[in-house]
Amino acid sequence: MSLTASKLFELSPFGTAADMMQLPVFLTKETELQAALKKMVDNNLYELPVTDEEGRVIGDLNAFEILKFI
């Protein structure tokens, strides 16, 4: 029996977006670099957004930038 894409879609146990959501991970301008790198490692990420006091994204920081700095 051959499964078509639409049949596979019907049989798959899809949930909702809420089932897959995670809390957002971000940094602030005041986050120390060691804490930033730890947050990246703990969340299996190599880049995080940096936010201002209102939570707006003002930039990003990646692990390679941190490693070049230290």
What confidence category does residue 7 fall into, taking pLDDT thresholds of 50, 70 and 90? low
- pLDDT, residue 59, reads 97
pLDDT in tens, 8-53: 566 667 777 777 778 899 999 999 999 999 999 999 999 999 999 9
- pLDDT, residue 16, reads 73
User: Which superfamily does 21-69 belong to?
Assistant: CBS-domain (3.10.580.10)
The answer to whether 62 and 46 have CB atoms below 8 angstroms apart is yes
Under DSSP, the state recorded for 58 is E
Domain ranges of the chain: 21-69
Q: With 0.85 as the threshold, say if the pTM is over it.
A: no
- CA–CA separation, 49 vs 66, rounded Å? 14
Q: Mean pLDDT, to the nearest integer, of 49-62?
A: 96
